[in-house]
Amino acid sequence: MVSPQKTFPVSWEELHRTAKALAWRLIALGPFKGIVAITRGGLVPAAIIARELDVRLIDTVCMSSYSEEDSGGTAGVHRPGDLQLLKGDAGKIWGDGTGWLIIDDLVDTGRTAKYVREMLPKAHFATVYAKPAGRPLVDTFVTEVSQDTWIYFPWDIEPQFIQPIAKQQRS
C-alpha cells in the first residue's frame, strides 16, 4: 500500500456535484431494482444517486476493516486490515446482483470492492472516486486520483486553515 503523499479535500458541494455526474453516467444503464450502498462512505453518494435515478429501494453492505488497535492488540482476533462483513444478505434479496447498483464513495486498493463483487457478481459497481489499484474492479466512476492521494470527505473534516502547497513542501 502506498503511503498518502497528497491530499484531496472534498466539499459537500463538490461531492454532490460529482455524485450527480455519476448519476448522469448511470441513467442509461437502468432502470435498477435498487441500490446497495457500501457503508459508510457509500451512504451519501447512494442517497444522491437514488434521488437522481428515482430509485426507492436502498440497502447496505456493512463492512469493517480491523486494525490491531480495534482488536485491542489481541493476537488472533483480527489481523490488521482484515475485512469483516457486519451486514449484508445478498442471497435472499439481491441474488447474484442482476439489476442492482452498488455504490461506494471510493475504490482504493480494491479489497472491499473485490469482496462485494464476489457477493454480487452481476451487479453494476459504481464509485465517485477511483484509484488505479482498485479501478479495474468498478464499472463506472467519475474522478480518478493517484494511489498516493488521501481523499478527505466532507464528513471527515472540519473547516480550518491549511498551509499552501508550496509551504507544505518546505516543511
At 155 the three-state DSSP class reads helix
Which is it for the CA torsion 140, 144, 147, 148, positive or negative?
A: negative
Q: Look up 156 and say whether it is catalytic.
A: no
Of the residues 54, 59, 96, 105, which is catalytic? 105
What is d(CA 165, CA 6) in angstroms, rounded to the nearest whole number? 10
Residue 156 assigned ligand-binding role:
no
Dihedrals phi, psi of 136, to nearest 5 degrees: -65, -15
Q: Look up 148 and say whether it is catalytic.
A: no
Of the residues 104, 139, 148, 156, which is catalytic? 104
Residue 48 assigned ligand-binding role:
no
The three cell numbers of residue 28 are 442509461
Of the residues 54, 59, 89, 108, which is catalytic? 108
Residue 150 assigned ligand-binding role:
yes
What is d(CA 52, CA 45) in angstroms, rounded to the nearest whole number? 11
Residue 39 assigned ligand-binding role:
no
Q: Look up 70 and say whether it is catalytic.
A: no
Which residue is associated with the grid cell 444503464? 29
In the annotated binding site for guanine, the residues are 108, 151
In the annotated binding site for 5-phospho-alpha-D-ribose 1-diphosphate, the residues are 40-41, 104-112
The residues carrying an active-site annotation are 104-105, 108
In the annotated binding site for GMP, the residues are 108-112, 150-151
In the annotated binding site, the residues are 40-41, 104-112, 150-151
